[in-house]
Amino acid sequence: MAQTNTTITAQKTKTHWSQSIHSLEVTGKIAAYVIISLGALLMIFPFVWMLSTSFKTYGQVFAWPPVWFPQPLQWKNYPEALTILPFHTYFKNTATIVLCNVLGATLSSALVGYAFARMRARGKNIWFLILLSSMMLPHQVTLIPHYVIYRLLGWVDTLRPLIIPTFLGGGAFNVFLMRQFFLTLPGELEDAAYIDGCNAFGIWSRIMLPLAKPALGTIAIFTFMSSWNDFFYPLIYLHSPQNRTMALALRFFQSQYGTDTHLLMAASVTMLIPMMVVFFSAQKIFVKG
Amino acid sequence: MRMRFVSVLALVLVLSFAVVGAGSAQTVVRYAFWGNPSVLGVEEDIIKAFEAENPDIKIEPIATPYGDHHTKLLTMVAGGDAPDVMRVDSYFFQDFVERNVLLNLDPLAEGPDGIDVKEYYPIAVADSIYEGRLYGLPWGSAPYYVFYNKDMLSSAGLEFPSTSWTQEDLLLYGQKLTKGSGMNKTYGVQADFGYVGILPWIWNNGGRLFNDERNEFRLHEKAAAEAIQWQADLIHKYEIAPSTVDMQGFTANDWFLTNRIGFVYGMADSALYLRQGDVDFDVTIHPAGKAGQWTVWKANTVGISATTQVREAAWRFLKFLLEPGGKGEAMYTGSQRVPPNTPLAEMWDLYADPSMPPASLNEITNVIGDGHAKELPLRKGWNDIERKVVEYLQIIQLGEMTALEALQMAKPEVDAIIRRLDR
Amino acid sequence: MAFHKSNRNSLARQEERLFYLFISPWLLGFLVLTCLSMAASLYWSFTEYDMLTSPKWIGLENYQSAFSGFDSRLFWQALKVTLIYTFSSVPLQLVGGFLVAILMNQQIKGINVFRTIYYLPSITAGVATAMLWLFIFNPQFGILNWLLAQVGIEGPAWLASRKWALPALIMMSMWGFGGPMVIYLAGLQGIPQHLYEAAKIDGANAFKQFLYVTIPQMTPIIFFNLVMSIIGTFQVFTSAFVMTAGGPVNATLFYVLYLYREAFQSFRMGYASALAWVLFIIIMIFTGIQVKLSGKWVYYEGIR
């Protein structure tokens, strides 16, 4: 309020041109703040609801009107949710899968995406179309053949089906994303490097990869989020209890005849917080500070 | 020199085979089942107890959440990797049996290491029998109950329903319990539009889902349509049951737990779920209609894969798990999570804790088991038919058509599905 | 001249070899995993296959059944629902994501926190969000109809209504702009600063800079988001699966939900595979159109 007043008075007393531009910028900034904050309220709403539910008793979950600030807070929901299913033992599996996937997806999609963006070869467009097409068939109908292949390889009930495929190109989505990023870089980059005697791999690793940092960061974050949250493939390929991932364990909270919503939410919040921290601290990779 | 090398090599080979042989002396039995976290622990305990008694057998559990169980099971069986012992929901049972996934258990059950199938509730084992042959043992067998909120009835000055109550009684209860309007309205009853839940009402009015051969749809007949119309009337005519519009985002159980609905329907799992709240409630049998007083009794099946390499071990485990009155059943019922498959008093004592609602669970189950229970008219393609019928039940529930109109429209479509299935 | 040409040819061949070397990880995965399983499902689409007994060749019967036979009513309904959903939610998500990315690219204090908040709905696990939305859309108790009532509008029954269930799911999909937003944000960083400076010198105001620098430079990223959103949205499954189970009366029967049920509940993997390949062709056509049109509006700096 005080700030708006001062800008208004400033506008009245001084009619200097740059000054009024400045005040415009200030009001613009304030407007941006207001819009962003209002939007943020909408965006954070689901999370607040989850958080509040995770501290409720069983009976409060469906109370009407809704209880937003449960009194007293049911802290015990957290230890309860996390001991009913031993999340800490599943954390190791999840962490292994997520870290390997981030590494595999960034490296291999950068390699393949670079080739699709900046190398000339006959049949390249055909291969690219084939790459895209591999995303167009719903995975429900390729589930059984995949299972058979992994069984023949002896990979079922190991973490391998969840890790090794990401090293093989890192998924068409990521390859396509890398390709698009490499295409936005100026065309003369490699020519200069070739003249300097770099080989193709050297150009890729020493010149191109550093320039592709925002894209690599984006892919790393997406891969982190999707493999952290993925329950379906672990569900199909993992059998033994000790191989379970956290997302799969979370899935068990939904039962046939009703859901223990308060425990589900406590477990969901626990799963969400590491992702928030990772996203918060990783943004500087793809956004300049 | 060379001789010595060869003999050393041979020795190493023999030794390594011996080591491998020693490692695989245990027979591995893979057991696939579903469950939520609270039931998984019971399964683990049973497996431990079995392994302690049978050190030569190792059980590898494959647990999935219910909603994903059959997708995973189908993928494994289709992928040539069928688990040796598997739990199958009765909705899928005949589809599995007709496609030779499950082993006929008669030779094993009647053999020297057999079990006495007669000790189960006959109705419970019915869902595991196909064309007179046994393909599994019942798991989680339970009738469909009516639950009522004791506090709501008491404060309205109403007596609790007796087991000989009628649908007119239910209507009266509903009208007396329904109060208020808009957001503060409390409802008397739940309108049951579930594909299974609607069957008792249909039977009690003299209707049926299929003909005797289970190859023709019969809900379009007057008696069945009337029963379904009555459910719709609870919503639209009497206004004592919430509509789907009112209920959206909530289940009837959720409302029951917040004292906003007096009567709901469900199986034993529902009782467990409702018990977690702080509502005082009890259980009774479905009210009698003009043609009788029936309810559904459903049991899932645990069977053995037709392709298993470890038949004997699998049977030994299955027997331990579900033999009438056996250790497995005692552990299941003792967890107070899985209802008994047998009328044995000691199993019911373990299961039904009289200090917890619903107090009459054991009593009512025996009343239902004694001539008030019917098995589901299961058949191949159950899910297919269900989806089509539910489409029309939704139309009736929304009040867009009368039951008779909608079900007569459904008739040719459902029959076409059945014809395709039986082709 | 002849020498020069052969030299160039060998260089081209060398680059081609390098290309295949670079894409070899993907190629290996494609040939071993993707290609085999796609071929299997293509074969099944011409068979009657229940997953538990061997597939039986029936030629085009599955396709015929979908287009004009036994299954045509649900097939066309599922296709209609999916097309409506895709062509309403994709533009909303893309434009929404772009505008939010511009906002989130502002150099203001605490923007890191805001970015995290805006990304939050996209990473919240499916079930939790679905349950929340069920409460939001509840006709009597929901927040949405309460808000509408404040401005004198009587809200519809949303997910319980045949007419409004699909629009409700479309509204819900707008929350999922977080993915495209992050990609746009990364793309915005790649625009060389000197282009803006040059535009300023030419006297372009902020709006004109946006129009003549930001948008053209972002076209490869917009193109990416467009192609990927369409591919992804055609295969959307979870929201209908969790929230409406395709109802009421098939009003939200998404194509892949339909396909999933036919495969794993009705034991019709052969028919489901045919459905999958029909969808494959549809998505392929839309992608092909976009790739063709992209030559007209997508601007690549580094095309060689």
Q: What is the pLDDT of residue B314?
A: 96
Tell me which chain C residues have a C-beta less than 8 angstroms from the C-beta of B390: 247
| Residue of A124 and B19 predicted with greater confidence | A124
Q: What is the pLDDT of residue A9?
A: 44
Q: B88 Cβ partners below 8 Å, 6+ apart?
A: B70, B73, B96, B102, B136, B300, B301, B302, B303
Q: What is the pLDDT of residue B22?
A: 47
| Residue of A174 and C8 predicted with greater confidence | A174
Please give the distance of CA B65 from its chain centroid, rounded to a whole number: 15
Yes or no: say if B111 and B105 are a contact pair by the CB < 8 Å rule: no
Identify the contact set of chain B against chain A, taking CB-CB distances under 8 A: 30, 34-38, 40, 44, 60-68, 71-72, 75-76, 78-81, 183, 250-251, 253-255, 257-258, 260, 266-267, 269-270, 272-273, 276-278
Selection from A251, C126, A239 nearest residue B67 by Cα: A251
pLDDT digits (tens, 9 = 90+) for C224-270: 999 999 999 999 888 788 788 887 889 999 999 999 999 999 999 99
Yes or no: say if B211 and B204 are a contact pair by the CB < 8 Å rule: no
Q: What is the pLDDT of residue B7?
A: 55
pLDDT digits (tens, 9 = 90+) for A114-133: 999 988 888 898 999 999 99
pLDDT bin (cut points 50, 70, 90) of residue A69 is confident
What is the pLDDT of chain B when averaged over all its residues? 89
Tell me which chain C residues have a C-beta less than 8 angstroms from the C-beta of A167: 25
Among A43, A141, A186, beta carbon nearest to C263: A141
**Would an 8 Å CB–CB cutoff place A257 in contact with chain B?**
yes
- CB within 8 Å: A257 and B40: no
Q: Residue B51 class from Cβ within 10 Å (0-12 exposed, 13-18 middle, 19+ buried)? A: middle
Q: What is the pTM of this model?
A: 0.89
How many separate helices (H) and strands (E) can be counted in chain A? 15, 0
Q: What is the pLDDT of residue B331?
A: 93
Q: What is the pLDDT of residue A200?
A: 82
Q: Give the whole-number percent of chain A exceeding pLDDT 70.
A: 88
- CB within 8 Å: A121 and C179: no
Q: What is the pLDDT of residue A198?
A: 75
Q: What is the pLDDT of residue A234?
A: 95
Residue range C202-220: mean pLDDT, rounded: 88
pLDDT of residue C279 exceeding 50, the answer is yes
CA of C260 to nearest chain B CA: how many angstroms apart?
10
For residue C47, give the H/E element and its range. strand C47-48
pLDDT bin (cut points 50, 70, 90) of residue A21 is low
Q: At what angle do helices C111-123 and A213-229 cross, to 10 degrees?
A: 40
What is the pLDDT of chain C when averaged over all its residues? 88
Q: What interface predicted TM-score (ipTM) does this complex get?
A: 0.89
pLDDT digits (tens, 9 = 90+) for B178-228: 998 877 789 999 999 999 999 999 999 999 999 999 999 999 999 999 999
Tell me which chain B residues have a C-beta less than 8 angstroms from the C-beta of A252: 35-37, 40, 63, 65
pLDDT digits (tens, 9 = 90+) for B231-284: 999 999 999 999 877 777 678 888 898 888 999 999 888 888 888 778 899 999
pLDDT of residue C116 exceeding 70, the answer is yes
- CB within 8 Å: A272 and C124: yes
Q: Minimum mean pLDDT among A137-151, A249-263, B140-154, C188-202: which range?
A: A249-263
Residue of C nearest to B421 (CA): C266
CA of B215 to nearest chain A CA: how many angstroms apart?
29
pLDDT of residue A153 exceeding 50, the answer is yes
Yes or no: say if C105 and C185 are a contact pair by the CB < 8 Å rule: yes
Tell me which chain C residues have a C-beta less than 8 angstroms from the C-beta of B383: 261, 265-266
Residue range B18-23: mean pLDDT, rounded: 46
Q: What is the pLDDT of residue C109?
A: 83
Q: Give the whole-number percent of chain C exceeding pLDDT 70.
A: 95
pLDDT digits (tens, 9 = 90+) for B66-123: 889 999 999 999 999 999 999 999 999 999 999 999 999 999 999 999 999 999 988 8
Which of the residue ranges A273-282, B283-292, B347-356, C120-129 has the most confident prediction, judged by mean pLDDT? B283-292
Q: B148 pairs with which residues across the strands?
A: B263, B282
- Interface probe with A: pick from B33, B73, B75, most Cβ of A within 10 Å: B75
- Interface probe with A: pick from B28, B68, B253, most Cβ of A within 10 Å: B68
What is the pLDDT of chain A when averaged over all its residues? 84
Q: What is the pLDDT of residue C66?
A: 94
- Interface probe with C: pick from B248, B396, B419, B421, most Cβ of C within 10 Å: B248
Intra-chain end-to-end CA distance of chain A, in Å: 28
DSSP for B190-238, please give it.
-----TTTTHHHHHHTT--SB-TTS-SB-TTSHHHHHHHHHHHHHHHTS
CA-to-CA distance for B155 and B265, rounded, in angstroms? 21
pLDDT of residue A7 exceeding 80, the answer is no
Q: Report phi then psi at B181, rounded to 5.
A: -150, 165
pLDDT of residue A6 exceeding 50, the answer is no
CA of A37 to nearest chain B CA: how many angstroms apart?
29
Q: At what angle do helices C178-189 and C111-123 cross, to 10 degrees?
A: 140
For residue B331, give the H/E element and its range. helix B327-334
Tell me which chain A residues have a C-beta less than 8 angstroms from the C-beta of B196: none
Tell me which chain C residues have a C-beta less than 8 angstroms from the C-beta of A286: 182, 185-186, 189
Q: What is the pLDDT of residue C193?
A: 83
pLDDT bin (cut points 50, 70, 90) of residue C1 is very low
pLDDT bin (cut points 50, 70, 90) of residue B17 is very low
Q: A56 Cβ partners below 8 Å, 6+ apart?
A: A67, A70, A74, A77, A262
Residue range C104-125: mean pLDDT, rounded: 86
CA-to-CA distance for B3 and A73, rounded, in angstroms? 78
